[in-house]
Structure 1
């Protein structure tokens, strides 16, 4: 409280308001930063994981569809099914090429690049050594030859390419999990910082506010006590004013007023004593005058009596 009394009340209030404002800005800024980071993390997760996984899933679907289209043509063994399979498979190959080019245009880590290159090589073998030879035999309506290509080439090459695609998909899921764990850790860190700042702010407000109220009320109570004593005629109460705030200025003014009243009372007392002395002297003079008057009256009476005897 002594330290606070060295500051003006307006300064103390300004410190409290500024400190709470700074804490509010820090807490609010931390919250805004956390929300911005969360939004960026969601966007990054969508672009780098969700979209990429969707592309891989679409590629897997088209690969399976290509294999099924050729198998269906072998089962039906008709020129129409062979022609349809050729058209659909070639369209799917081109579609996969477009999806894959879009996938590879994104930013990738060294590990992802290695896995992607492995899939790219496996799929190239699947297309060059499996799908295209099968389409050639289908175009010639050589269904037995197509069956041999399916069994000897398409099936093993498809399994290898699909396994590489699954590995790439698992990598994306692993990256998404790591990103989630990082974002979760950031969230808990920001939460802890925000909670700590809130606790610090509350403690500061309580402690500083309590000290502020106590310093003001204690000084005011002392001022009230002194003024009540003065009002009752007691000018002996000591006034202590050691601070530099407005209350201390008030106490010093009260002390000066009390000292001035003491001087006034002393002067009045001296005047009263002087008046009492003068009154006593006047009374003594009156007594002397009365005695002389009585003596003169007695002398006059004696003179009158003597005159009567002479006459």
Structure 2
């Protein structure tokens, strides 16, 4: 049952619990209906059988008493009209007795009631000729003989007859009492069965509700624990996905979320490692750039020293040129001084030519140094742009180097 509950949805389990409770209510109602049916049958028997028995027995006894009373009036009456009225009453009481007896015979009688009715019939058979003879005597105006017949011969028969009818009444009353008791028993049984089925339905419903709530609450607690672990950053918590109900779907979604978060964290870690590696490479490049910058600075210092020496040489050459100019001016004046002076001038011009050639070589060297310095400044600017905020100093140095170039 537990496995079936796990494989079903919460709605299905709630439906099973509600269905069980409704089934219990149906059983309670059915038990009540059956019990009420039994009570109704008992009451129907009480009303249609036992009461009719008692009423019929009472009617038969009343008819006999009234018949005997009317016959006594006939015997004692001296008025013909009154006698005729009493005779009609006798016939009516006879008819009432016959109809009550028919109603009684139409019912199912107990053995004692049937025996009492047979005794009443036997007494009636004995009383019928006596009553007829008494009527004849009354009609022939012999009341003394009719009264004697009724008191001497008819009285014992009447006693047996009334005793039989009393027994019949007691039997009918006993049957009615038993019917009332049976009706009460049926009512009590119906109440007992309704109570038992109601308690049983209540117990089953409570048990199903307890099992349902416990199963759902336990799995929800597991889901809450896993959610708190994930919220705390622990992605290694194990999620047991069982069942296909709503809680199982929730756990399955949480498991998929956990796997997705684990993949995301791994990807972020890989990217962080890549960024760290790139940062290390950038730092190494910055160190290399710093070394190259130092080397270029040394080269610039050497170039500056060379340019200073070149300036000195240029100044010396300028002085030499002035001197040569003065000498040439002097040579004009002293051209006539001889070939020795001209030879010295020629030698001096050769020196000047050699110095000019050296100056041209130095200027070419300076141009090469300036070109390399400009390239170095461009490289430094590129590296500074790559380094971002950290390469701002290199950008300033690169600008100064470019200006120097």
- Say yes or no: TM over 0.5: yes
Which residue number corresponds to residue 24 of structure 1?
A: 25
Deviation track 1:214-250 (CA, whole Å, cap 9, x = no partner) reads 3223322332333344334332333233333220221
Query: Paired residue for 2:159?
Result: 159
Q: Counterpart in 2 of 1:131?
A: 131
Structure 1, 179-188 or 145-154: larger mean CA deviation = 179-188
Which residue is 1:208 aligned to?
Answer: 208
What is the CA–CA distance in structure 2 between the aligned matches of 1:41 and 1:262, rounded to whole Å? 77
Question: Cα RMSD over matched residues?
Answer: 2.3
User: In the alignment, which residue of structure 1 is the partner of 2:288?
Assistant: 288
> Which residue is 2:42 aligned to?
41
Structure 1 SS opposite 2:241: coil
Work out the number of aligned pairs and report it.
Answer: 310
2:8 equivalent to 1:7: yes
Bigger drift between 281-290 and 216-225 goes to 216-225
Maintained 8 Å contact 1:239/1:251: yes
Q: Which structure is higher in RCO with an 8 Å CA cutoff and minimum separation 6?
A: 1
Corresponding residue number in structure 2 for 1:99: 100
Looking at structure 2, the residues matched to 90 and 153 of structure 1 have their Cα atoms a distance apart, in angstroms, of 21
TM-score, normalising length: structure 1: 0.90
Could you say if the C-alpha distance between residues 95 and 186 of structure 1 is closer, same or farther in structure 2, counting changes exceeding 3 Å? closer
Greater shift in the superposed pair: 63-72 or 256-265: 63-72
CA distance in 2, matches of 1:245, 1:90: 88
Judge conservation of contact 2:220–2:247 (CA < 8 Å) in 1. Answer: yes
Higher alpha-carbon Rg: 2
Specify the alignment match of 2:357 in structure 1. Answer: none
Which residue pairs with 1:222 in the alignment? 222
Shift of 1:186: 2.4
The answer to whether the 8 Å contact 1:83/1:138 transfers is: no
Please give the alpha-carbon distance, in whole angstroms, between the structure 2 residues aligned to 1:265 and 1:19: 49
* Aligned residues of 1:86 and 1:138 also touching (Cα < 8 A): no
**1:303 corresponds to 2:294:** no
Structure 2, unmatched stretches of 5+, are: 314-405
Mapped partners of 1:52, 1:65: distance in 2: 20
Unmatched runs of 5 consecutive residues or more in structure 1: none
| CA–CA separation in structure 1 for the residues paired with 2:95 and 2:239 | 98
